[in-house]
Structures are given as C-alpha cells and as structure tokens.
Amino acid sequence: MSDKKFICDRMLKRLAVWLRLSGYDTLCDEVLERVNPRKEDTYLVENFADRILLTRDRELYERRKLKGMPVKLVKSSNVGEQLKEVSELGIRIFPVMKRCTVCNSELRKPTEEEILEVAERENLGEHILKKDLWYCENCKKLYWVGGHWKNMVKFLKKHDLI
Ligand SMILES: [Zn+2]
C-alpha cells in the first residue's frame, strides 16, 4: 500500500469514504467545517501541501496546480468511475480494516470493556463477540467484516477495480 494522503472537496464525500475504507489517510468536510465557506477554495489551494487534493472543480484544480501543490482533477460524477480515476495515482482500492470511514482515525483492536459498551449501546447482540473486531476510539464505533463488506467487494468487481 502506498503512503499517499488525500483531501477531498465536498463534492467527493463518497470517494473520501472509499479511500478511508482502503486505508488511505483522507480528509474531507470535517476540516472544511471550520473554514468560512467563502474562503474555502483559497484554504484548499494554500494548505495541505503533503496531501493530494481531489476535486471536481476545474478552477480550484488550476489554482492549486499553479501554486505547485499536489492536486488531481476528478472528472466523473460516478463514484465507481472516480475510483478508477484515482487508482491511476498508483493506489489500491480494496477494503482493509485500518481507518474509520466516519472520522479518518486509525482503527485498533478494542478492549473487552469497549466491545461490551458498544454492543450494549447499539444493541448488537451476542454474535458480535465472536467476530474479529476493530475499534475507532474517536467515534466509539466497532468495525467487523460482514455483509456490507461483501457488497463493497461486489461493487469493486462490477467496476473492474479488482
Ligand atoms: Zn471514527
């Protein structure tokens, strides 16, 4: 896996989720919420020199490129096609248990206490205890390989990404 890092504009939220699912450090609207919306483009042009900005906005793309900052213009509005476009950057799109899709934090193994706390709060039932679990400390959320995972793999196959 490459160590590329990303920041997605607000139009690419679903793409950001897929990049996180694939283990890539990807920021999106959670960092933009702190910025005055009128200054958002300038903020994206001038910051995050260590991240590739993924954007559907050609003007934003040109401005960042002019500054010599890493950027890729995403052309499609379809997330399957978008994934193909970003895979040209040499990254692998495939779900791995590494990052929280909600907040981008790195996942870790939960303690027994944490499992029980989430299981009770979210009414997960006993079967959860038998799963191989991962945990987001920030969201207090558990992750495991389930039906959703199989659907993701199906989606990637359908789009010729794996
Ligand atoms: Zn999280």
Tens digits of residue pLDDT in 15-61: 999 999 999 999 998 888 889 999 999 999 999 999 999 999 999 99
Specify the pLDDT at position 1: 56
Distance 91 CA to ligand 1 centre (A): 22
Q: Tokens 């690419």 map to which residue?
A: 12
Mean pLDDT of the chain: 94
For ligand 1, the distance from its centroid to the CA atom of residue 142, given in whole angstroms, is 9
Percent of the chain with pLDDT over 90: 86
- Closest by CA position to 22, among listed 14, 34, 33, 31: 14
Q: Which tens digit of pLDDT belongs to each residue from 61-95? A: 999 999 999 999 999 999 999 999 999 999 999 99
Tell me the three-class secondary structure of 22-78, residue by residue: CCCCEECHHHHCCCCHHHHHHHHHHCCCCCEEEECCHHHHHHHHHCCCCEEECCCCC
In the reported structure, the alpha carbon of residue 59 is separated from the centroid of ligand 1 by a whole-number distance in angstroms of: 32
Distance 110 CA to ligand 1 centre (A): 13
